[in-house]
């Protein structure tokens, strides 16, 4: 089977491509990328006016299965990711029961194979039951398919446990992904601590609840030489610490999410639970710091932290509603705003959403090299659309971006050479 993608603008940061080119897929792999390909193909895609890039990768999602299927399932989560232009996602282990064994990793991979939509790269728990007490079997998790380890959703408060985890993970070249939250400073807070929390009469979460853990974790990464990845960084203080650590050679990487460069704490005015997340939305100064860090590379990648919840759960008093928002179907449109604002280039954006996540996870994806598996995303950067929950593939619609007009959307997606989304419709 040959598929020829013609007339598109190919952007492949790893191979330094940023030009009008054609892409030929043959036998599930990239066969050729060139200015004009005359080969006859079984199927042709006219990508005129569109960007053709390596398949997008989301290194941080919550698919909720097993245990919380009323929020999301592997199937609905992967359909949402596909609609958003992703060819692979990394589900976090905070399910019920916690995904902390080899069989849990194999379950996720089996579901992905059964559904035949896009790829899943599981993240295994660092500690049994995510209780922060006893390390899981890292080697068995890797054999089962885990590409990283995390207790995301919970911090690893015990410094010695995190130290041992970083040392143990080195043996298997696995990265530890950390949710930075000082529990004593967090102390039941439900939004950013500041003027807005005072006005609303809600308990706040100080920036230091994040940055204090970031500072500790950098020291532990330096002590052990282990690879550490910071999840969903939200504040300028944390960014300053990470920037300094990188300049001194620390083996740390970091991500942020679209909500942290689009919204401030004022989005929760009127007790709007759709904008309640953890870490919380911060100030305009923090938003500016996030954008600077994306520009200078302090923040390596963009993830969604896709965290679906039911309407009943979110339709509660603000302090009782769960943290988290969905993001898979809006991420590309929201992130392209960075390019339009001149914060980063299109090539840099695609790098942060494909090649760099693949590099952190040590998976051979995120490029269009001849012979590589044909994971390809095609998107129209000028396509205008409105975020409408009726169009969502996700089971949940807990996002503060409902009704927002966005520009830029995936139209076609190829995973392992299969044309899995055609003209915005899942095949």
- Residue 353: per-residue pLDDT: 99
- Residue 205: per-residue pLDDT: 99
Question: What pTM does this model have?
Answer: 0.98
- Residue 119: per-residue pLDDT: 98
Look up tokens 């985890």; give the residue: 165
Domain ranges of the chain: 2-52+372-382+407-426, 55-361
- Residue 356: per-residue pLDDT: 99
Tell me the C-alpha distance between 425 and 189, whole Å: 41
CATH superfamily of 2-52+372-382+407-426: Urease, subunit C, domain 1 (2.30.40.10)
- Residue 362: per-residue pLDDT: 98
Q: Is 371 strand, coil or helix?
A: coil
> What is the SS3 string spanning 74-88?
HHHHHHHHHHCCEEE
Tell me the C-alpha distance between 192 and 422, whole Å: 41
Pick the CATH number of 55-361 from 3.10.129.10, 3.20.20.140, 3.60.15.10, 3.40.630.30: 3.20.20.140
Yes or no: say if 232 and 181 are a contact pair by the CB < 8 Å rule.
no
User: Residue ranges of the chain with pLDDT lower than 50?
Assistant: none
Catalytic site positions = 305
Q: Is 405 strand, coil or helix?
A: strand
Using one digit for the tens of pLDDT, what is the confidence trace for 123-182? 999 999 999 999 999 999 999 999 999 999 999 999 999 999 999 999 999 999 999 999
Residue 355 gets which letter from DSSP? I
């Amino acid at each position: 089977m040959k598929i020829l993608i013609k007339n598109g603008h190919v952007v492949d940061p790893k191979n330094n491509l940023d030009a009008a080119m054609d892409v030929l897929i043959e036998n599930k792999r990239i066969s050729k990328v060139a200015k004009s390909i005359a080969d006859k193909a079984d199927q042709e895609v006219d990508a005129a006016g569109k960007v053709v890039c390596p398949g997008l990768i989301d290194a941080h999602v919550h698919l909720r299965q097993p245990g919380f299927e009323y929020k999301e399932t592997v199937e609905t989560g992967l359909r949402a990711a596909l609609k958003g232009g992703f060819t692979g996602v990394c589900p976090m282990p905070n399910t019920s029961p916690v995904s902390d064994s080899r069989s849990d990793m194999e379950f996720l991979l089996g579901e992905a194979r059964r559904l035949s939509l896009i790829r899943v790269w599981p993240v295994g728990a660092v500690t049994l039951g995510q209780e922060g007490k006893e390390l899981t079997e890292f080697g068995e998790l890797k054999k089962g398919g885990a590409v990283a380890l995390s207790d995301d959703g919970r911090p690893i408060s015990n410094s010695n446990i995190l130290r041992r985890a970083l040392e143990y993970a080195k043996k298997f070249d696995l990265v530890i992904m950390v949710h930075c939250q000082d529990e004593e400073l967090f102390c039941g807070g439900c939004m950013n601590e500041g003027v807005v929390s005072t006005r609303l009469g809600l308990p706040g979460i100080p920036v230091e609840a994040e940055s204090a853990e970031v500072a500790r974790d950098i020291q532990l990464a330096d002590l052990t030489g282990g690879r550490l990845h910071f999840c969903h960084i939200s504040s300028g203080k944390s960014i300053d610490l990470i920037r300094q650590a990188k300049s001194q050679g620390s083996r740390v990487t970091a991500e942020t999410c679209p909500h942290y460069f689009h919204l401030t704490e004022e989005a929760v005015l009127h007790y709007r639970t759709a904008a309640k997340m953890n870490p919380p939305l911060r100030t305009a100064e923090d938003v500016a710091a996030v954008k600077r860090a994306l520009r200078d590379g302090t923040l390596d990648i963009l993830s969604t932290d896709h965290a679906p919840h039911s309407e009943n759960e979110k339709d509660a008093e603000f302090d009782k509603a769960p943290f988290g928002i969905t993001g898979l179907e809006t991420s590309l449109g929201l992130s392209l705003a960075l390019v339009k604002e001149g914060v980063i280039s299109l090539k840099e954006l695609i790098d942060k959403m494909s090649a760099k996540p693949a590099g952190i996870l040590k998976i051979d994806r995120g490029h269009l090299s001849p012979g590589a598996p044909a994971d390809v995303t095609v998107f129209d950067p000028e396509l205008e659309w409105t975020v409408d929950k009726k169009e969502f593939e996700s089971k949940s619609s807990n996002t503060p971006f409902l009704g927002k007009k966005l520009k830029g959307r995936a139209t076609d997606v190829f995973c392992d050479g299969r044309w899995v989304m055609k003209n915005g419709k899942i095949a």
